[in-house]
Amino acid sequence: MKEIIFENKGKNIKLQAFKINERAIKLYEKIGFEKVEETKTHYIMMKKQTEGRSFQTEGRSFCLNKNLD
Angle, CA of 59, 60 and 61, to the nearest 5°: 125
Residue 43 lies in a domain: yes
Query: For the domain that residue 57 is a member of, what is the CATH number?
Result: 3.40.630.30
Q: Is residue 30 a part of any domain in this protein?
A: yes
> CB under 8 Å to 30, separation ≥6 — which residues?
57
Whether residue 50 is contained in a domain is answered as: yes
29 φ, ψ (degrees, to nearest 5): -65, -35
Q: Are 4 and 66 in contact (CB under 8 A)?
A: no
- Report how many domains make up the chain: 1
Answer whether residue 24 is part of any domain.
yes
The parent domain of residue 26 ranges over 2-63
Q: What is the pLDDT of residues 8-17, one digit of tens each?
A: 777 888 999 9
In-domain check, residue 69: no
Within-domain flag for 22: yes
Query: Using CA atoms, how far apart are residues 48 and 33, in angstroms rounded to an integer?
Result: 8
Instruction: For 4-45, write each residue's pLDDT tens digit.
Output: 777 777 788 899 999 999 999 999 999 899 999 999 999 999
